[in-house]
Structure 1
Amino acid sequence: MSPTTRPVVYRDVTVFDGTGDPAVPGRSLVVEDDRIAAVVATGDLVVPEGAEVVDLGGAHLIPGLVDSHQHLATPPDRPQAEAWLRRMVYGGVTTIRDMADDLRQVGDLARACLVGEIPGPDIRYAALMAGPSFFDDPRTWQVSQGETPGEVPWMQAITDDTDLVLATALARGTHACAVKIYADLEPALVAAITAEAHRQGIASWAHLAVFPALPLDVVRAGVDVVSHASLLAWQTHEDVSPTYKDKPVIDRGSVDPDHPRIAAVLDEMAARGTILDVTASMWESEDVLEDADEAERDRAAGHAELSAQIAARAYAAGVPISTGSDYETPAGDAFPALHRELLFLHERAGIPAADVLVAATRTGARSAGVEAQTGTLEPGKRADFVVLDADPLADLRHLDRIRMTVKRGVRHLREDYR
């Protein structure tokens, strides 16, 4: 489906534009092709000649949501991925970050969503880099079937002898917009990978702890976005730098979220503008808890509690936060996992609803490297927005009250979702 060839006026809405300003009632959006041409007071609206007028009768309008942590192809399952993508876009998600998968499939999914072959959000994705010892992880084999993990452009083993100029160029050749720095790398290598990625014009995304590089090392390396709030706990270990597989277990109550070492990392992130991709609700997901024994459930509860505490302290410290899920809800669920992440950050971490929405829109777009194109409702940006029948600022559960999602000017009516 393509955007309409004539202008479209979305008339009479309360607009939360994602910039941090309060919501404003009595507004109208003018869309031309796939772009926002104007956001004006309805009383001042001049309907362009030949425009279609969609009267929304006081509905609420927010920017399209961004899920800053997804995995569409570990292992590859095309029907499942297409079902997830369809549910996401009909659930208000217009952009996602895929955090390293089998990019042979993810690249084609991104193309199909972009050109309208299948309904789904825009997909921004990363190629993974890690130390050689990481590549016996079974997931790396799932996403490299037919090839050797660590020796393919989307899954590269990095050592001190690696030609990082060539390795980064190979990653870029997958059409990745970032490298994801995962595990088993020393701080100097994390910094070198990040510097070369930036030199070649792509982003550096990383786990908050890479092992043996600890969170402060990763942040000081200049990484753009770090994932998984609970990983900050390992900064409290007395400079113990294990490998990814040998890292110590986090037990419930064993980490002080106000530890000075944690505060130091958050202060550094705030000063640098490093985005924290929290991924908190995943610890209470069906993926984690299904078939888990009592010890595993207790560990997951500890991670969820710690993630809420870290997110609250990151927010208070001025760290920019994005909303990543890192899982998907079961097939029978009507809405994507991102809705749960937003509720978690509001209800469990105590972040105000308006700031959670900014995290899921403007900061999410920044995490994906597309803040110049989307994430806020401003003239010149893409027509990516969600029309809701109830106020999400009054209750974030109203995100389920979707009338339609507009992505790149194309309408996806919720009533059409099955």
Structure 2
Amino acid sequence: MMRRRVAALVAAALSAPVMTPVKAQRAPVGPATRSYVKVDTNVLALTNVRVIDGTGAAARDGQSIIVRDGRIAAVGAASTTAIPAGAQVMDLAGKSVIPGLVMVHEHLYYPVGAGTYGNLTESFSRLYLAGGVTSMRTGGNMNGFAELLIAQAIARGEKPGPWIDATAPYLEGPGMGFNQVTILRDSSEARKLVEYWADQGATSFKAYMNITRDELKAAADAAHKRGLNITGHLCSVTYREAADAGIDDLEHGFFAMNDFVPGKKLDTCSGRGGAAQSMLAQADPEGAEVQALFKYLIDKKIAVTSTLTIFETFTPGRPMPPGTDVLIEPLREQFAQRYASTQRNTQSVYAKAFPKGMAMERAFAKAGGTLIVGTDPTGGGGVIAGYSNQRALELLVEAGFSPLEAIRIGTLNGATYLGRGALTGSIAAGKLADLVVIDGNPAARISDIRKVQLVFRQGVGYDPAVLIESVKGKVGLW
């Protein structure tokens, strides 16, 4: 559960020695995956590279990374780090290596119209990997078993994609009208749904906007008994009430917060949309009320997930999101029309709420809160797997974080929340070789995060260009 996973940022992992014995754990590569792989060798040396290790420490130039059987065997100065006999050597002069991105509000579905979401497990899993995502949590499930099954297939090497923490279908009460979600009637049903999906292999849970406090507590208790986390995109329950109910994480930064909406009724979704965003636009991140809420969440060790990419699509004056060219034509046109409409909306509450939401996230982290990051490919579209993950880090920098801080939020913070900080999320001897090779220096220019040349998951190097080409113009079909 969250209280155990985020108590500290795995200090032992950060102080690992330069050389350490490693256990073989290279990712399996099946026949259907082979065409996407560019590097597959037992022993690999990445030399003369700039290392941005994910801890927030300054970039180190002139480094070598030795990979053996899927794990990092050594990291150190290229001039003194021995290259093992028989290693495949890649000279990466002028390039950077960062840890694989660990993103925690992702989806394997996409809006296709009429309140319905299409199952894009095949194309999105490839795009996430191409964008540098090597680990991810799905932040709610509209596909039932599909997400659990593709997570298992990726683990077996039958399909390309990140390691997936697969979240069960949403825990939701009546009100939203989704035709792909079971509606809870009481706390007993909430507990039973958690137990059922945990038995089926789900490894996370997500509460949604019309859940009650009692249902949320029942779900949190049931999840924690299995050692699993529960997050939430809330409305009927305030952030403070959710903390009392045992939630581990709050989605969408402070855009979903309605703690300060006047007349908020218990267990009732009030203030959704305009009212909540209006309150956010007026909130003072340094004010006593907001700082008290931050402290309450921090004291209970509750993380907050930034999803600025989805809110950017609601905000006039923002650039067209990257990656929409991979969509099938009807979905591409559908979003283009929506984007044009957003730009014409001179009365949009998001014009003020979006920058204030950024400021709230920065203030929460500054107060000592644990910020993690994801993208949320829902809303009205335009948030495209892989591309949006890179954009998410750019937006964190726009919000006031340094590039090194943004990279840490997108790597080690996420890995630590998922309980995998000792395995991945930073570049250190003994960890999985989850690495991204970038043609540039994102520590100096965060926009270089888009220049991904190679993505290693457990020591196997995937070609992002081949992954993208395999789905381009088809995203929306599968």
Letter in 2 for 1:185: I
Q: Does 2:358 match 1:311?
A: no
Among 252, 268, 284, the alignment partner of 1:243 is 268
In structure 2, how many angstroms separate the alpha carbons of the residues matched to 1:302 and 1:176?
38
What CA deviation, in whole Å up to 9, does each residue of 1:98-132 have, x standing for no partner?
11221321122222332333322222121245353
Instruction: Mark the CA change 1:92 to 1:330 in structure 2 (over 3 Å): closer, same or farther.
Output: farther
Q: Could you say what secondary structure the match of 2:254 adopts?
A: helix
Q: Does 2:247 match 1:196?
A: no
Q: Does 2:62 match 1:12?
A: no
Q: Could you say what secondary structure the match of 1:234 adopts?
A: coil
* Alignment check: 8 A CA contact 1:73 1:106 kept: no
Q: Partner of 2:317 in structure 1? A: none
> Offset at 1:343?
1.2
Q: Could you say what secondary structure the match of 2:168 adopts?
A: strand
In structure 1, how many angstroms separate the alpha carbons of the residues matched to 2:89 and 2:77?
15
> Offset at 1:290?
5.7
What CA deviation, in whole Å up to 9, does each residue of 1:298-339 have, x standing for no partner?
033344223212112112211111121112898998951112
> Offset at 1:284?
2.0
> Offset at 1:234?
1.1
In structure 1, how many angstroms separate the alpha carbons of the residues matched to 2:386 and 2:151?
21
* Alignment check: 8 A CA contact 1:28 1:41 kept: yes
In structure 2, how many angstroms separate the alpha carbons of the residues matched to 1:11 and 1:390?
15
Q: Does 2:249 match 1:225?
A: yes
Q: Partner of 2:293 in structure 1? A: 265
* Alignment check: 8 A CA contact 1:71 1:326 kept: yes
In structure 2, how many angstroms separate the alpha carbons of the residues matched to 1:265 and 1:334?
32
> Offset at 1:219?
2.3
Aligned residue runs from structure 1 range 307-346, under 5 A = 307-327=357-377, 336-346=387-397
What CA deviation, in whole Å up to 9, does each residue of 1:181-209 have, x standing for no partner?
223334344233223211211111122x3
Instruction: Mark the CA change 1:225 to 1:353 in structure 2 (over 3 Å): closer, same or farther.
Output: same
TM-score, L = length of structure 2: 0.75
Instruction: Mark the CA change 1:44 to 1:104 in structure 2 (over 3 Å): closer, same or farther.
Output: same
What CA deviation, in whole Å up to 9, does each residue of 1:246-271 have, x standing for no partner?
74723544444444332222112223
Instruction: Mark the CA change 1:71 to 1:415 in structure 2 (over 3 Å): closer, same or farther.
Output: closer
Instruction: Mark the CA change 1:124 to 1:352 in structure 2 (over 3 Å): closer, same or farther.
Output: same
Q: Partner of 1:97 in structure 2? A: 137
Q: Partner of 2:60 in structure 1? A: 24
Letter in 2 for 1:159: D
Aligned residue runs from structure 1 range 2-401, under 5 A = 2=29, 4-73=40-109, 77-78=118-119, 80-101=120-141, 102-128=143-169, 130-134=171-175, 137-138=177-178, 141=179, 143=180, 149-150=182-183, 157=184, 159-162=186-189, 164=191, 166-207=192-233, 209-211=234-236, 213-231=237-255, 233-238=257-262, 240-241=264-265, 243-244=268-269, 247=272, 249-252=275-278, 253-285=281-313, 289=339, 291-292=341-342, 298-327=348-377, 336-347=387-398, 349-401=399-451
- Which shifted more, 318-327 or 270-279? 270-279
Q: Could you say what secondary structure the match of 2:93 adopts?
A: strand
Unpaired stretches in structure 1, ≥5 consecutive residues: 151-156
* Alignment check: 8 A CA contact 1:219 1:265 kept: no
Q: Which structure exhibits the higher relative contact order, with contacts defined as CA atoms closer than 8 Å and separated by 6 or more residues?
A: 2
- Which shifted more, 359-368 or 298-307? 298-307
In structure 2, how many angstroms separate the alpha carbons of the residues matched to 1:76 and 1:111?
22
Q: Could you say what secondary structure the match of 1:298 adopts?
A: coil
Share of identical aligned residues, percent? 24
> Offset at 1:222?
3.2
Unpaired stretches in structure 2, ≥5 consecutive residues: 1-27, 30-38, 111-115, 314-320, 322-334, 470-478
RMSD of aligned C-alpha atoms?
A: 2.9
In structure 1, how many angstroms separate the alpha carbons of the residues matched to 2:168 and 2:270?
21
What CA deviation, in whole Å up to 9, does each residue of 1:23-56 have, x standing for no partner?
2222211112221122122222222232211221
In structure 1, how many angstroms separate the alpha carbons of the residues matched to 2:395 and 2:64?
31
* Alignment check: 8 A CA contact 2:235 2:258 kept: no
Letter in 1 for 2:230: S
> Offset at 1:355?
0.6
